[in-house]
């Protein structure tokens, strides 16, 4: 508990805050009084209420006599009740049995009385020599319980233990429940710190409980499987689907409970992962689990980097598969109808051209109309179906060109006019565009036309058909939307799986203290995070595979800065990034890992004094229109101690730099080191530009 420091009276300890709970191991009565007498003398002189609970080898009268010799006004303190000395039977024992509740509640009552009487707080000591072996566990639990009370209140507590009554294990139990311990060695008192072990383990225990709640809250079927295909852990959803408890899942072989086989089947993704160590995502149908599942497996590694099993995540997609199948059948049926209708229309149009029975034949065609346009007189002729498509009543003569344009969607008028201009030069046109019918409905039509030329090759007539394809377009857009959603879901799942792996690495790292092992875990986590951020950005984006790489770099750099902030708070990072730069995953993933490795190396190695600057620059250098490719440069630099002359890229032995070289080669790029004023890595690579299609135009 924070607050004003109190004089402990013990030279080796000095001042301590309220809430201090420590212990003393002694061998003789003299050792005991050597600590307790100055401890209580300081408490009395500083207006604290003092309680001394005695036991063999020091009785109540001996304790009082020792204090009389050390404290001049002891009788005054004793008379007014500032100090109370009594045997353990009045403090710990109830009807001959140790009563922890009575002891804890008595301590709280004493504190309240002390504060009400005007004392600063409570100073307590108790000797455990009276304790029998069979009551040891209860007393250790009491110490743990009373520690949580003391640390929150205006109390200081010193617990005394005779070394002859404690074995090695019991000494560890005692030390664990106290902030520090006093022990006399070679006639000198030593202070042995607990180093926060108890609080750290409380935090770990809480983190483990939080992880357990998360693990069981996930609706997907999640299991951790070892190299022998045995289930190590299964979440609540997995156990429920298997019809057993989570405890009963442990030890079951996954191929028996999931596939109903004595050996893993050939398609088993876990079996394949054990061979090549690669993550997998696949769709499977499992009769024993009763449905279709999107299954992902991700490797788990032991501290030596060997695969020790995998994380198995199965998402039930049975209902989605049924919906997709129904939609697929509906789409196939619609396609057949459209194909049949198109064939019929093409045959009818051919017959119409041959027999000049334009109107009678065109009206037999569903949702298709024919037209001709006299380019000399600017007069047109429409079939009845043409009028119906535009929401008009049939009339003898068609609309002139300017009136027709009024029914074309404003955003598509320029496109249609350009299409007609090309047709007048090339002889035909074929285009889709939107119209606004007379009743205000927006429709999508497909138009085909041919141009008739005179003997001098001047255009004199255009003729063709218009088909209402609104419903087909809606179906196509629905399918495209489903596909975009499906791809975004995949990115989301991959991101979540990578985050699960990162969390598992974090939990695994807590088991180790070796700095190299912990650094290896942190590097692995950073690589996983760099890939996870890509899938997170793709999931948030409008497209399916294009990533705003500049925005991604800012987030990745922020993550790395947070990771190293405790040890590198005086290191600054600056970025100069090309805006509106989108890369697909083939470019973004290796670039993200390269940035992660080089920036991490700068944080770890470039600044021995933990002060400096890291700069990241991404820019487009030039573009070659003939091959439709752009040259980019990625520059990562620091003003740290630099890399010695003579050390070449190929000579780096670290996994990170080998990975950087491999990924640059994968990109078909080049990397060079510039050693002036620190270290600068300059990476150049080419990116193919993708064509853009205007909205509403095919």
Contact residues for 210 (Cβ-Cβ < 8 A; gap 6+) = none
Q: What is the mean pLDDT of residues 531-558?
A: 67
What's the pLDDT at 495? 46
In order, the DSSP letters of 401-467 are HHHHHHTB-GGGHHHHHHHHHHHHHHSEEEEEEEEE-TTS-EEEEEEEEEEEE-TTS-EEEEEEEEE
Q: What is the arithmetic mean of pLDDT over 595-616?
A: 85
What's the distance, Cα to Cα, between the start and end of the chain in Å? 72
- Report the SS3 class of residue 510: coil
pLDDT at 553 over 70: yes
Beta-sheet pairing, 570-577 with 611-624: parallel
CA 630 to each of CA 105, 302, 612, 688: distance values in angstroms, whole numbers, following the listed order: 77, 43, 33, 6
Instruction: Show Cβ contacts of residue 115 under 8 Å, excluding neighbours closer than 6 positions.
Output: 121, 154
Check pLDDT > 90 for residue 50. yes
Q: What is the pLDDT of residues 129-150, one digit of tens each?
A: 776 666 667 677 777 777 878 8
The alpha-helical segments, DSSP class H, found in 356-383 are: 358-362
Lowest mean pLDDT segment, chosen from 227-236, 522-531, 668-677: 522-531
How far is the C-alpha of 411 from the C-alpha of 435, rounded, in Å? 10
Query: What letters, b where the CB count within 10 A reaches 16 and e where it falls short, cover 570-582?
Result: ebebeeebeeebb
Average pLDDT over residues 35-54: 92
Please report, for residues 326, 345, 366, 617, the alpha-carbon distance to residue 337 in angstroms, rounded to integers and kept in the order given. 17, 12, 11, 55
Long-range contacts at 395-400 (CB < 8 A, ≥ 24 apart): 398/371, 398/373
Right CATH for 202-316 from 2.60.120.10, 3.30.2270.10, 3.30.450.20, 1.20.58.480: 3.30.450.20
pLDDT higher than threshold 60 for residue 375: yes
Going through 139-279 in order, the beta strands assigned E by DSSP cover 155-162, 180-185, 188-193, 221-226, 231-234
**Residue-level pLDDT at 492:** 46
Quick count: other Cβ atoms within 10 Å of Cβ 324?
A: 15
The Cα-based distances of 594 to 140, 589, 616, 632, 657 in angstroms read 53, 9, 12, 15, 9
pLDDT of residue 634: 92
- Output the pLDDT for position 10: 93
Q: What's 193's DSSP letter?
A: E
Cis amide leading into 334 (omega within 30)? no
pLDDT of residue 376: 84
3-class state of residue 351 by DSSP: helix
From 392, 388, 349, select the one nearest 372 (Cα to Cα): 349
Question: Is the pLDDT score of 119 beyond 90?
Answer: yes
Who wins on pLDDT, 277 or 541?
Answer: 277
pLDDT value of residue 49: 93
pLDDT given at position 692 = 29
pLDDT class for 95, splitting at 50, 70, 90? low
Helix, strand, coil % over all residues of the chain, rounded to 5 = 45, 25, 25
Q: Supply the pLDDT for residue 98.
A: 66
Q: Look at 641 and 533; give whichever has higher pLDDT.
A: 641
SS3 490: helix
pLDDT, residue 47, reads: 93
Q: What is the SS3 assignment for 82?
A: coil
Q: How many CB atoms lie within 10 A of CB 247?
A: 9
Number of H helices, E strands in the chain: 21, 28
The pLDDT assigned to 282 comes to 84
Position 165 scores a pLDDT of 78
pTM, to two decimals: 0.34
Q: What pLDDT is recorded for position 359?
A: 47
pLDDT tens per residue across span 283-308: 888 777 778 888 888 998 886 788 88
pLDDT in the model for residue 677: 82
Per DSSP, the three-state class of 235 is: coil
Question: How many whole angstroms separate alpha carbon 493 and alpha carbon 315?
Answer: 10
> What is the Cα–Cα distance from 674 to 679, expressed in whole angstroms?
6
Residue 360 has pLDDT above 80, yes or no: no
Q: Quick one: pLDDT at residue 333?
A: 86
Q: What is the C-alpha to C-alpha distance for residues 32 and 161, in angstroms, rounded to an integer?
A: 9
The three-state secondary structure class of 169 is helix
How confident is the model over 344-360, as a mean pLDDT? 66
Read off the pLDDT of residues 151-162 as tens digits, 9 standing for 90 and up.
888 999 998 888
pLDDT at position 357, please?
53
Chain length of the chain:
698
pLDDT band at 323; cut points 50, 70, 90? confident
Judge whether residue 198 has pLDDT over 70. Answer: no
Q: How far is CA 516 from CA 188, 302, 331, 498, in A?
A: 38, 14, 57, 23
pLDDT exceeds 70 at position 530: no
Return the pLDDT at 149. Answer: 80
- CATH code linked to domain 331-468: 3.30.450.20
- pLDDT, tens digit, 9 for 90 and up, residues 407-460: 888 888 888 888 888 888 888 888 888 888 888 888 888 888 898 988 888 888
CATH code that applies to domain 546-698: 3.30.565.10
The phi, psi pair for 97, rounded to 5°, reads -125, 140
Task: Indicate the SS3 state at residue 16.
Answer: strand
Q: How confident is the model at residue 603 (pLDDT cuts 50, 70, 90)?
A: confident
Joined together, the tokens standing for residue 285 give 């149908």
Under a CB-based contact definition with an 8 Å cutoff, are residues 318 and 532 in contact?
A: no
Instruction: Single out the residue of 57, 11, 89 nearest to residue 160, CA to CA.
Output: 57
Strand 155-162 and strand 122-127: pairing? parallel
Does residue 499 carry a pLDDT above 60? no
Write the pLDDT tens digit of every residue in 645-688. Answer: 766 666 566 767 788 888 899 989 999 888 888 889 999 999 87
Domain with CATH 3.30.450.20 in the chain: 202-316, 331-468
Per cent of the chain over pLDDT 70 is: 77
Task: Tell me what pLDDT residue 691 has.
Answer: 30
Q: What is the mean pLDDT of residues 227-231?
A: 87
- Please give, one letter per residue, the 3-state secondary structure of 251-298: CCEHHHHHHCCCCCCCCCHHHHHHHHCCCEEEEEEECCCCEEEEEEEE
Whole-number pLDDT of residue 347? 78
pLDDT at 164 over 50: yes
Is the alpha carbon torsion for 272, 274, 276, 279 positive or negative?
A: positive
Average pLDDT, the chain: 79
Q: What average pLDDT does the segment 626-632 reach?
A: 72
**100-132: b (≥16 Cβ within 10 Å) or e:** beebbeebeebbeebeeeebbbbbbbbbbbbbe
**C-alpha to C-alpha distance for 198 and 204, rounded to whole angstroms:** 10
CATH number for the domain formed by residue range(s) 5-194: 3.40.50.300
- What pLDDT is recorded for position 491? 46
Cβ atoms < 10 Å from Cβ of 353: 14
Please report how the helices 470-509 and 515-540 are oriented relative to each other, as an axis angle in degrees rounded to 10: 170
Q: Which of 655, 645, 665, 553 lies closest to 601 in space, CA to CA?
A: 655
Confidence (pLDDT) at 214: 73
User: Which stretch, 107-111, 425-429, 633-637, 646-650, has highest mean pLDDT?
Assistant: 633-637
- Give the separation between CA 155 and CA 82, rounded to whole angstroms: 15
Spatial neighbors of 67 by CB under 8 A, at least 6 apart, are 37, 40, 41, 74, 83
Averaged over 476-498, what is the pLDDT? 54
| Nearest by Cα to 465 from 372, 602, 573, 560 | 372
- At 642, the pLDDT band (50, 70, 90 cuts) reads confident
Poorest-pLDDT segment among 98-102, 412-416, 617-621: 98-102
- Supply 85's token pair: 């000395």
Phi, psi at 395, each rounded to 5°: -140, 170
Strand 582-583 with 547-548, pairing: antiparallel
What is the pLDDT at residue 45?
92
* Distance in angstroms (rounded) separating the CA atoms of residues 242 and 250: 12
């Amino acid at each position: 508990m924070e607050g004003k420091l109190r004089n402990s009276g013990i030279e080796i300890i000095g001042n301590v805050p309220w809430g201090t709970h420590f212990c003393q191991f002694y061998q003789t009565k003299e050792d005991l009084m050597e600590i307790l007498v100055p401890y209580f003398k300081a408490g009395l002189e500083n207006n604290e209420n003092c309680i001394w609970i005695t036991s063999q080898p020091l009785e109540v009268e001996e304790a009082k006599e020792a204090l009389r010799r050390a404290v001049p006004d002891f009788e005054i303190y004793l008379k007014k009740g500032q100090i109370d000395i009594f045997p353990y039977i009045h403090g710990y024992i109830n009807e001959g049995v140790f009563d922890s509740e009575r002891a804890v509640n008595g301590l709280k009552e004493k504190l309240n009385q002390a504060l009400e009487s005007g004392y600063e707080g409570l100073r307590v000591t108790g000797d455990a020599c009276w304790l029998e072996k069979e009551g040891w566990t209860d007393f250790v639990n009491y110490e743990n319980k009373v520690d949580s009370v003391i640390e929150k209140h205006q109390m200081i507590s010193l617990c005394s233990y005779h070394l002859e009554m404690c074995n090695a294990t019991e000494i560890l139990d005692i030390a664990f429940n106290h902030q520090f311990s006093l022990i006399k060695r070679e006639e000198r008192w030593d202070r042995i710190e607990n180093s926060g072990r108890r609080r750290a383990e409380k935090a770990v225990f809480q983190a483990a409980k939080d992880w357990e709640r998360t693990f069981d809250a996930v609706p997907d079927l999640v299991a951790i499987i070892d190299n022998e295909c045995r289930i190590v852990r299964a979440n609540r959803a997995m156990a429920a689907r298997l019809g057993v408890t989570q405890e009963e899942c442990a030890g079951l072989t996954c191929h028996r409970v999931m596939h109903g086989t004595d050996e893993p089947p050939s398609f088993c993704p876990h079996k394949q992962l054990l061979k090549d160590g690669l993550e997998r995502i696949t769709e499977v149908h499992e009769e024993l689990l009763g449905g279709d599942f999107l299954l992902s497996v991700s490797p788990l590694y032991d501290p030596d980097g060997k695969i020790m099993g995998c994380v198995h995540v199965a998402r039930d997609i049975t209902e989605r598969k049924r919906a997709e199948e129904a939609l697929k059948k509906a789409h196939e049926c619609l396609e057949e109808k459209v194909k049949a209708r198109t064939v019929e229309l093409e045959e009818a149009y051919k017959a119409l051209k041959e027999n000049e029975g334009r109107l009678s034949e065109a009206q037999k065609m569903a949702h298709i109309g024919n037209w001709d346009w006299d380019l000399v007189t600017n007069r047109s002729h429409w079939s009845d179906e043409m009028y119906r498509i535009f929401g008009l009543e049939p009339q003898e003569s068609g609309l002139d060109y300017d009136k027709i344009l009024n029914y074309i969607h404003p955003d598509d008028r320029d496109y249609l006019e350009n299409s007609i201009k090309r047709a007048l030069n090339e002889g035909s046109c074929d285009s889709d565009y939107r119209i606004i019918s007379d009743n205000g409905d927006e429709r999508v039509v497909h138009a085909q036309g041919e141009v008739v030329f005179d003997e001098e090759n001047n255009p004199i007539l255009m003729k063709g058909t218009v088909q209402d394809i609104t419903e087909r377009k809606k179906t196509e857009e629905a399918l495209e939307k489903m596909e975009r959603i499906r791809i975004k879901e995949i990115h989301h799942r991959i991101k979540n799986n990578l985050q699960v792996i990162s969390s598992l690495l974090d939990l695994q790292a807590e088991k180790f203290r070796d700095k190299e092992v912990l650094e290896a875990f942190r590097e692995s986590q950073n690589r996983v995070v760099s890939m996870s951020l890509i899938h997170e950005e793709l999931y948030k984006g409008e497209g399916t595979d294009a990533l705003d790489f500049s925005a991604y770099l800012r987030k990745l750099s922020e993550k790395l800065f947070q990771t190293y902030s405790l040890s590198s708070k005086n290191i600054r990072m600056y970025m100069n990034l090309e805006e509106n730069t989108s890369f697909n995953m083939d470019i973004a993933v290796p670039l993200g890992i390269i940035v992660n490795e080089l920036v991490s190396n700068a944080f770890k190695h470039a600044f021995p004094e933990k002060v400096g600057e890291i700069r990241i620059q991404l820019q487009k250098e030039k573009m070659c229109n003939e091959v439709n490719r752009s040259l980019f440069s990625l520059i990562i630099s620091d003003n740290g101690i630099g890399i010695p002359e003579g050390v070449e890229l190929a000579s780096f032995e670290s996994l990170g730099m080998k990975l950087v070289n491999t990924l640059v080669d994968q990109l078909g790029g080049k990397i060079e080191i510039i050693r002036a004023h620190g270290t600068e890595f300059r990476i150049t690579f080419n990116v193919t530009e993708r064509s853009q299609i205007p909205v509403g135009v095919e």
